[in-house]
Amino acid sequence: MAIPILFVLSVFLGIFAYTTLVERKALGRIQNRFGPNRVGRWGILQPIADGLKLLIKEDIVPRRADQFVHFLAPVIAVIPSILLFSVVPVGTRLVPVDLNIGILFAFAVSTVSVLALFMGGWASRNKFSLLGAMRAVAQVVSYEVPMVLAAVAVVMAVGSLSTLRIARAQSGGILNVTNWFVFRPWGFVGFVLFTIGAMAESARTPFDIPEAESEIIAGYHTEYSGFKFALFQMGEYLASIAMAGITVTMFLGGYNGPGSGPGWVGGLISMFWFFIKLAFMIVLNIWIRGTWPRVRVDQLLGFAWKVLLPMSIANIVAVGMWHYLTFRPLAWVATTLWLVLWFVTLSKLAATENVAPRTYRYAS
């Protein structure tokens, strides 16, 4: 057990380091810039330089801050993110820990990370930090609900909370591909819901309300510097990578792909597929970050409660239909119709909130 854990930890920490670089490069290219290209060829040593820089930076604690909580927050930010990786099956032969409550464990652990955001924001005794903390708490609590419900759909279909069993349930089919849950109507909807929820949970860009630079400086980590800041960043990135891994496991077929299997060769191929899909999710995250503007606070909460929540409940009903309509073509038609109906209705409902064209008082 120790070797898979060590392997997974080091690999994912490496992925974390290079995700930051890839993200900066990709964002640069999206904005027609180069991105980091000074430290080593193509900036390949940039993460090391960044790490060193943050390590030797001065650690500033505000005098009025709550010293103990201020110190504890970054530590708590990282621990849950690392624990999340323990239930992600990386390959057929490489599962760090197979808990029979895998998914539930992941959610339980990821909720703890919101505490870190709160503690960091509250302990800094800074109004921007506090605002960031409030936003973070409201956001995470709201988005957790649709996210968990989206996961419930998968759990219902598989009949188990274990991530390994979920991954296994998606093997078979043509080329080990057609059984992935994204290729089911409910699975596709669940995938979209879960991805949105995961993005909001790890405060990635369209939902980076808690650290909106243009509004509240840096939100809850305004008062953090040096390595504590690095820990916050690390926790955030690790959580979003782990969430990407869980998304892959639940919807994108986990480690399944052409050639994956239980043997050694199949195991290696399955790891290859897992990391390809993980890379896909990370790139999708970066791409979205480079494209979409930040949502407003009220839009954020309204979207979670008025659109995502009904949709995820409808999705659960769809899984029920899928389960009982054993004649597959009928199940396809019925669930698709049902979900499309809900999507259209909710779009209409959301559209009625359209505001009138803005009238400018001073500008024309």
Residues at the site binding another protein, with contacts judged by CB under 8 A? 26, 29-34, 66, 69, 99-101, 104-105, 107-109, 111-112, 114-115, 118-119, 122, 125, 130, 133-134, 137-138, 140-141, 144, 161, 287-288, 290-292, 343, 346-347, 350-351
Q: Are 179 and 171 a contacting pair, CB within 8 Å?
A: yes
Find residue 94's DSSP bridge partners.
91
**Among 181, 156, 182, 149, residue whose Cα is nearest residue 309:** 149
Task: Name the residue nearer to another protein (CB basis): 266 or 290.
Answer: 290
Q: How many other C-beta atoms are found inside a 10 Å radius of the C-beta of residue 265? A: 10
Alpha carbon distance 319, 308 (integer Å): 16
Closest contact distance (angstroms) between CB of 247 and another protein is 18
* In the complex, least distance from residue 19 CB atom to another protein, rounded to whole angstroms: 16
Task: Give the closest residue to 90 by CA, choosing from 310, 344, 227, 275.
Answer: 275
Q: Quote the least distance from Cβ 292 to another protein, whole Å.
A: 6
Cα→Cα distances 301→162, 205, 292, Å: 30, 15, 17
Q: Which CB atom, from 15 or from 133, has the smaller least distance to another protein?
A: 133
CB of 105 to another protein, least distance (A): 5
Total Cβ atoms within 10 A of residue 43? 18
CA distances from 146 to 18, 149, 163, 305 (A): 30, 5, 19, 8
Nearest to another protein of 119, 250 (CB atom) = 119
Query: Nearest distance from residue 9's CB to another protein, in Å?
Result: 21
Question: Rounded CA gap, 250 and 253, in Å?
Answer: 7
CB closer to another protein, 26 vs 177: 26
Residue among 33 and 53 whose Cβ is closer to another protein: 33
The nearer residue to another protein, 49 or 283, going by C-beta atoms, is 283
Tokens of 29: 């290219």
Q: How far is the CB of 115 from another protein (least distance, A)?
A: 7
Residue 128 vs 273, nearer CB to another protein: 128
The residue (of 25 and 228) whose beta carbon lies closer to another protein is 25
Minimum distance between the CB of residue 34 and another protein, rounded to whole angstroms?
5
Q: Which two tokens stand for residue 272?
A: 């290859």
Under a CB-based contact definition with an 8 Å cutoff, are residues 122 and 288 in contact? no
Least Cβ distance, residue 69 to another protein (angstroms) = 7
**Residue whose pair of structure tokens reads 């396809």 in the numeric block:** 332
Alpha carbons 112 and 126: distance in angstroms, whole number: 22
